[in-house]
Structure 1
Amino acid sequence: MKPIKILLLLATSFVLTSCYSVRLRNVNGAPQPDPFSNRDDYYRGMAVVELDTVIGVSLTGKDFTYLVKEKEACESGKINIIEYRNTFGGVLFSAITFGRKRKVKIKYVCEKPQN
């Protein structure tokens, strides 16, 4: 095989393995409904909040906390489903900035408020 084909095959396998998503769901409680939602995916009929941003992490700190407030998107202030998506572009961006900036794609569904 030619070196170009080998490099292309290696790059393609690297790109495909570095794109994944992780979904966590609470078994207690129900998701907040959205009757006007026209989605055809897993989140059909649910009020989904999508967050696509770049966060900065200092060199001394290794973690980041995103606070879900009651008045912003969640009436209950509780999360029922959360999905974190990692892409090849996000991994490259983190590598280029030496881990100080990270591209975050998160979808979450709030828990239905109790009556």
Structure 2
Amino acid sequence: MKQIKYSLIMISLCILTSCYTVRLRSVNGTPQPDPFSDRDDYYRGMAVVEIDTVINMKLTSKDFTYLIKESDNCESGKLNIVEYRNTFGGVLLSAITFGRKRKVKIKYVCEKP
């Protein structure tokens, strides 16, 4: 009975420590506004672009580059806020596929043009 209890505690600690969010924000510039946004979180009144995808990488590649261009979503092509979220499911997918597939959740706000 003690072993089951300790195992459950260790599994829950692993799950909780593998979930985190990193947010980077520029000191210069202002975020691109979105007057029609109805968000109540940190991004209230900002035009947020959300990406939730799985990246396929080769075993030999060490990094991945996602290009952000000038478009309707990002008029200036410059970033003001970037948020990267890591979840337990993403860590599990990466571990099972030996790092070839990575689940990515990114939110970013462009600078005002």
**TM-score grouping bracket, smaller chain normalisation:** over 0.9
Q: % of aligned pairs identical?
A: 77
Unaligned runs of 5+ in 1: none
Instruction: Give 1:61 shift.
Output: 1.1
Q: Does 1:84 align with 2:84?
A: yes
Instruction: Give 1:59 shift.
Output: 1.7
Superposed, 1:16-55 pairs within 5 Å as 16-55=16-55
- Secondary structure at the aligned position of 2:95 is classed as helix
Which residue in the other structure is 1:99 paired with? 99
- Secondary structure at the aligned position of 1:28 is classed as coil
Q: Tell me, in whole angstroms, the C-alpha distance in 1 between the residues paired with 2:5 and 2:64.
A: 40
Q: Tell me, in whole angstroms, the C-alpha distance in 1 between the residues paired with 2:8 and 2:42.
A: 33
Unaligned runs of 5+ in 2: none
Alpha-carbon RMSD across the aligned residues, in angstroms, is: 0.9
Which residue in the other structure is 1:11 paired with? 11
- Secondary structure at the aligned position of 1:5 is classed as helix
Which residue in the other structure is 1:110 paired with? 110
1:15 corresponds to which letter in structure 2?
Answer: I
Moved over 6 A (4+): none
Q: Tell me, in whole angstroms, the C-alpha distance in 2 between the residues paired with 1:79 and 1:12.
A: 35
Shift of the 89–109 alpha-carbon distance from structure 1 to 2, 3 Å rule, reads: same
User: How many residues are treated as equivalent by the alignment?
Assistant: 113
> TM-score, structure 1 length as denominator?
0.95
Instruction: Give 1:72 shift.
Output: 4.6
- Secondary structure at the aligned position of 2:65 is classed as coil
Q: Tell me, in whole angstroms, the C-alpha distance in 2 between the residues paired with 1:21 and 1:3.
A: 32
Q: Tell me, in whole angstroms, the C-alpha distance in 1 between the residues paired with 2:36 and 2:75.
A: 17
Which residue in the other structure is 1:60 paired with? 60
2:106 corresponds to which letter in structure 1?
Answer: I
> Which deviations, in whole Å up to 9, do the C-alpha atoms of 1:2-53 show, x marking residues without a partner?
1111111111111111100000001110000000101110000000000000
